[in-house]
Amino acid sequence: MKKDIVNATLLWIVLSILGWILVLNWNIFPPALAREARIVDDAFNLLTVLAVPVFTFVVAILIYAAFRFRSPGGLEDGPPIQDTGRILTAWLVVTIALAGGILINPGFVGMSEVRGEGGADVVIGVTGQRWSWTISYPNGVDVTSYTGELVLPVDQRIQFDITSLDPDVIHSFWIPAFRIKKDAVPGRITQMFITPTETGTFAEDPNVRVQCAELCGQGHAQMSMKVRVVEQAEFDAYLDEILAEGG
């Protein structure tokens, strides 16, 4: 039995190392253009790294037991194995400790990091409706997703005041390159704070776009808007440009 525990443990370690190599080298994320996106990606990586040994523990025991303790032949069961309960107790303690740990970090810690502190440098209004977005810029000009784009200044804390036309249905404001999303509810304003940290455009990567993330009807999939994160000077020039055009 002791030899079996050693063998299964070795298999567990090998599978865990393979799993860690896989998850740490496989970049599955879209570009991260905001402070909040990094926090979300870090949380995802941490959870995956912690999940690997839990997953490979089960798989290692399953694989080992299937070969080592298989029935000698025919339809007979293999020999029964008695356990004192120590393994079950250890499993319970470890998994409860892991669950409690991730509840605190990245749970509570990550949530407060994403929320951030302080006011906003720029306030931008967002209104969803079937099936378009309207952006209200700080200079009072509205731009819709039919013809315009969402232009944002880099390195500024942006407050999005999000709502949905009333009456309409619930939509969800989501920019994959920023990760965070927030419901747009008729008759109510929800807020989302984002600090873009890098410039980028929809042309460079299609994840730099607004996409409705709440199934809202026939045109849901087309309910998107190009996003462009630019330097402050370019943002100011854009505001002047749309003001001159009269919105």
Cα separation, 38 vs 46, whole angstroms: 12
Question: Which residues have a Cβ under 8 Å from the Cβ of 12 and sit 6 or more positions away?
Answer: 53, 56, 57, 60, 61
Question: Which residues have a Cβ under 8 Å from the Cβ of 196 and sit 6 or more positions away?
Answer: 33, 34, 35, 152, 153, 154, 155, 156, 158, 178, 229
Asked if 184 touches Cu ion (CB under 5 A), the answer is: no
Q: Please, what is the minimum distance in Å from the beta carbon of residue 33 to Cu ion? A: 22
Asked if 212 touches Cu ion (CB under 5 A), the answer is: yes
Asked if 216 touches Cu ion (CB under 5 A), the answer is: yes
Q: Which is nearer to Cu ion, 56 or 134 (CB)?
A: 134
Asked if 213 touches Cu ion (CB under 5 A), the answer is: no
Residue 204, token pair as written in the block: 């460079």
Q: Please, what is the minimum distance in Å from the beta carbon of residue 212 to Cu ion? A: 3
Q: Please, what is the minimum distance in Å from the beta carbon of residue 152 to Cu ion? A: 20
In 3D space, the residue among 235, 236, 223, 157 whose CA is nearest the CA of residue 196 turns out to be 157
Q: Total residues contacting Cu ion (rule CB under 5 A)? A: 4
Residue 89, token pair as written in the block: 């107790």
Q: Please, what is the minimum distance in Å from the beta carbon of residue 196 to Cu ion? A: 23
Q: Which is nearer to Cu ion, 173 or 235 (CB)?
A: 173
Asked if 223 touches Cu ion (CB under 5 A), the answer is: yes
Q: Which is nearer to Cu ion, 171 or 228 (CB)?
A: 171
Among 153, 160, 171, 213, binds Cu ion (CB under 5 A): 171
Q: Please, what is the minimum distance in Å from the beta carbon of residue 188 to Cu ion? A: 15
Q: Which is nearer to Cu ion, 175 or 230 (CB)?
A: 175
Q: Please, what is the minimum distance in Å from the beta carbon of residue 247 to Cu ion? A: 23
User: Which chain residues interact with Cu ion by CB under 5 A?
Assistant: 171, 212, 216, 223
